[in-house]
Amino acid sequence: MGFIKDFFGQTRKPEGLLGRFMLSTMNSGHAKLADWGMEHLSEILPGEIIELGCGAGRNAGELLKRYPDARLTAIDYSPISVEKAAKYNKTRIASGRCRVQQGDVSDLQFEKNSYDLATAFETIYFWPGLERCFTQVANILKQGGFFLICNESNGKDTAGKKFEGIIDGMICYTPEQIRKALKKAGFSEITTDHHPNKPWITVLARK
């Protein structure tokens, strides 16, 4: 149980060799979930995007493919995640369309009202207080901007509850809990969707 706990604990903040191994599995392991989540952005045409908790960088790259005229900022709390994501997106960084940097969702150091779209894939489980962090996201979004959250757990599924017991500090939120925190943070027009065959959820909110 010790190794399992240490390994899956790397999902929170990858560090060291074990963290690098975890990151090597993230891009492929989360791809189907992320692509399903991005389908909910079909009517949105952002110019400036921020990817919160970018992990190994695959989702940032897919967002830039989806929006060829957009620019994207990708942040992560983990230095080795930033390293991996920057390597994955090096050509996009070189072209000036992408930047990757370390950041903290509870204290976002970006200009207010500067992004059209914020995304968070498989990451809010570890955020230090949803309302506090969602308020930070709202501050950097333009009026009318969107925030997409995509989680593998709906907060009630067996697997999600199991991982809560393995990973320190992990909380699998229900759509209702997420909606409540978003409203308190100043978001409106909140819509949720459940995958028809899995406990996956997306929440799309507008500032």
Q: Which CATH number fits the domain that encloses residue 62? A: 3.40.50.150
pLDDT score of 19:
45
Domain extent at residue 34? 2-206
Query: In three state form, how does the secondary structure of 84-130 look?
Result: HHHHHCHHHHHCCCEEEEECCCCCCCCCCCCEEEEEEECCHHHCCCH
Per-residue pLDDT of the chain (207 residues; tens, 9 = 90+): 454 454 444 455 555 555 464 555 666 668 999 999 999 999 899 999 999 999 999 999 999 999 999 999 999 999 989 999 999 999 999 999 999 999 999 999 999 999 999 999 999 999 999 999 999 999 999 999 999 999 999 999 998 888 788 778 889 999 999 999 999 999 989 999 999 999 999 999 999
The conformation of residue 43, written as its DSSP 8-state character, comes to T
Best CA proximity match to 88, nearest among 64, 70, 66, 61:
61
Helices (H), the chain: 2-8, 16-29, 31-38, 58-66, 79-88, 90-94, 130-140, 158-166, 175-184
Nearest to 30 by CA among 194, 153, 175, 191: 153
**Whose structure tokens read 């509870």?**
106
* Token output for 84: 């991996």
pLDDT of residue 114: 97
Instruction: State how many domains the chain has.
Output: 1
pTM for the predicted model, two decimal places: 0.91
- 160: number of Cβ within 10 Å: 20
pLDDT of 3 reads 46
The pLDDT of residue 23 is: 59
